[in-house]
Amino acid sequence: MFNRIRTLLHRLSEVKEVNALSDRDLSDLGLSRDQVMQFLHMPADITERVTAMGAIFGVPEADLKRDHAQWIDLLTTCGQCADRKACSTVLDSDHPQPADCGFCGNRRSFADLALHPH
């Protein structure tokens, strides 16, 4: 129970920090206030999941992050995914393949990046 309260207080503090950001700060980040708020509510492992799934498709992390808007889209899609269990199963397997990732909302983006690297 104490951990839940501590987590809630930490989140409230983060929300206050986001609300204190100026429009200029948000512009420098390349994110809207709503996007930053969405990221606050995403699981902490989103970056690792996206880069690991990208690697299954043969897309290096640098290619995933090269286009900022696309990177944000990949993170957002992953952060809203309802198939975290399936994702964990694939990521924990010994030799995951793109064919194992039919549940992934980013699979088309990963496949496209693999075929057309920047």
Domain boundaries, the chain: 1-41, 42-118
Ranges of H-type helices in the chain: 2-20, 23-29, 33-40, 46-56, 61-66, 68-79, 84-92, 107-115
pLDDT of residue 79 exceeding 70, the answer is yes
What's the whole-model pTM score? Answer: 0.73
Give the mean pLDDT of 54-76. 94
State how far the Cα of 110 lies from the Cα of 55, in Å rounded to an integer: 9
The b/e string for 100-113 (b: 16+ C-beta within 10 A; e otherwise) is ebeebbbbebbbeb
The 10s digit of each residue's pLDDT in 81-96 is 999 999 999 999 999 9
